[in-house]
Amino acid sequence: MTVHERTQVGIVGAGPAGLLLSHLLALGGVDSVCVENRSRAYCEARQRAGMLESTTVELLRTVGLGDRLDAEGLEHDGIYVQFDGQRHHLNFRELTGGRWITIYAQTEIVKDLIAARTAAGAALEFEVSGTTVGRLDSDAPVLCYTDASDERHVVTCDVIAGCDGFHGITRRSIPANGLTMLAERSYPYAWLGILAAAPPSTDEVIYCRHDRGFALHSMRTPEIGRLYLQVPADEDIARWRDEQIWAELATRFALPGWSLTNGPVLQKSITPMRSFVAAPMRYGNLFLAGDAAHIVPPTGAKGLNLAVADVAALATALTRLLRDADPSLADAYSDHCLERVWRSTHLSWWMTSMLHIAPGQDQFESELQLTQLRHLVTSRTAAATLAETYTGYAPIRYDPSTRLAAKQLWPSVA
Ligand code: FAD
Ligand code: DHB
């Protein structure tokens, strides 16, 4: 049997983008249906991001998602940058006049969002299959899926939001002439990431360039470390025993008088590195947000923060469109988001290329990396440039009541 339904916004994907969008739309009085092909448990356990810009933290607080984040998040003033056997601190709070960063795992944001949406009785379906979207250039696009009990749903929407990540179906449902730009760069290395029951050996995150490759020491809680190693792009994780991972991390982070605390590895995985931007982020009544539209290599921690900024802008734009019949912010959505996307794409590419060792890298390239790093830790201007984009480039445009005049909310459109 097929069930025919109606909603204002059909959302594909219950990652951070899809879940936050459904939460923000509900605050604006707009209905949505959100479908996800994985289980709730899988979404809540998928290890990914951890570093939040202060702009992201402020938005989550504003929309009622700050309680656990404030209790359990680890607020940091800045980062360490290590190269040539020395570790340097960059104090972002001081460099930006007050902005900071917070470690709070994506898994926890997803748990908080699912709890909030479930408590609100939201239409949120896990373990769906056969998701399709159609009639995207009409004013009644359709979202179709089969639910976990094998019932087929056809949901007629005003708008569809593609929040289904890089490998999702929504971007690929856009006809060939619908995307005017697909800009892509792949990198010849990957990250091997571990989650470990080992107290962090540092108070703030360390980005380390070593001749053997990049390493990153992050954390999740005062008891749990999150660490990454640069490995070859086609690396097989089975080649890395836990003792080898710890030994390689210790070699890359080594400093006189400092040691790395080891512990049981709870989870390990390999992440490929790619930059990708699809534009425009809209086709008819399909709006793309988060990783469905753009991905960055993880260095610089921009992906989740971009997804949050996209859906904050999208929620405001769709509330204006669907509640107040005002299309101006929806029409400006793609251009507005792409400005931030390209700034973050540059930061991630820059940090990636400055800190990783490419296969066959020659002395010229190594010296260019080292001179950039020396400049970063000795020039206040260079450090402030990094700090500004790292902590959140521009204010996130979100109007919680959606009652402000458009020009107060979004000056670039007015
Ligand atoms: P996703 O999280 O990918 O969510 C998309 C959802 O759609 C998924 O749940 C998927 O199952 C679902 N889906 C896909 N296809 C379908 C379908 N056909 N039907 C229904 N549902 C579907 N970012 C940061 O900001 N800071 C960091 O510190 C950081 N570190 C990272 C470290 C690693 C190792 C990795 C891999 C990423 C990191 N990122 C970081 C990036 C960040 O995790 C992503 O940018 C973020 O998950 C994007 O959220 P999203 O909701 O757009 O996409
Ligand atoms: C983390 C991930 C990143 O990509 C980064 O640049 C900093 C921190 C993390 O997982 O904590």
Q: What is the mean pLDDT of each run of 10 residues along the chain (414 residues)?
A: 96 98 94 98 92 94 94 97 98 95 97 96 97 98 97 98 98 95 96 98 98 98 97 96 98 97 97 97 98 98 97 96 95 96 97 97 98 98 96 79 46 38
pLDDT on residue 404: 40
Pocket test for ligand 2, best of 53, 218, 350 (most atoms within 8 A of CB): 218
* Residue identifier of the C-alpha nearest atom 5 of ligand 2: 301
- Tell me what pLDDT residue 402 has: 58
Separation between Cα atoms, residue 311 and residue 305, nearest integer Å: 10
pLDDT of residue 270: 96
Residues belonging to the active site: 76, 207, 298, 302, 390
Q: Are 22 and 32 in contact (CB under 8 A)?
A: yes
Query: How close is the Cα of 335 to the center of ligand 2, in Å?
Result: 27
Average pLDDT, the chain: 94
* Closest listed residue to residue 311, CA positions, set 17, 113, 53: 17
Q: State residue 401's pLDDT score.
A: 62
Q: 410: CA distance to ligand 2 center in Å?
A: 30
Inter-residue contact 73 to 49 (CB < 8 Å): no
Judge contact between 250 and 234, C-beta under 8 A.
no
Predicted confidence at residue 400, as pLDDT, reads 63
Query: Residue 268: what are its φ and ψ, rounded to 5°?
Result: -145, 145
Chain-centre distance of CA 319, in angstroms?
23
- Cα 159 to chain center, whole Å? 23
* Cα 159 to Cα 282: distance, rounded to the nearest angstrom: 11
Between the CA of 49 and the centroid of ligand 2 the distance, in Å, is: 6
pLDDT at 412: 40
Cα separation values, 14 from 87, 128, 164, Å: 39, 11, 7
Ligand number with the minimum distance to the CA of 14: 1
Sign of torsion over alpha carbons 278, 279, 283, 287: positive
How far does residue 170's CA lie from ligand 2's centre (Å)? 27
Instruction: For residue 106, give the ligand 1 atom closest to its CA.
Output: 43
Beta partners for residue 258, in sequence order? 255
Q: Mutate which of 113, 304, 311 to test ligand 1's pocket (most atoms within 8 Å of Cβ)?
A: 304
CA separation for the pair 318, 15 (Å, rounded): 19
Q: Cis peptide leading into 280, omega within 30 of 0?
A: yes
Distances (CA, A) of 266 to 19, 223, 259: 27, 12, 21
Distance between CA atoms of residues 196 and 47, nearest Å: 12
Q: How does DSSP assign 391-405, residue by residue?
A: H-SS-----SSS-S-
Coil, strand or helix: which one is 153? strand
- What is the DSSP annotation of 58-99? HHHHHTT--HHHHHH-EEESEEEEEETTEEEEEEHHHHHTS-
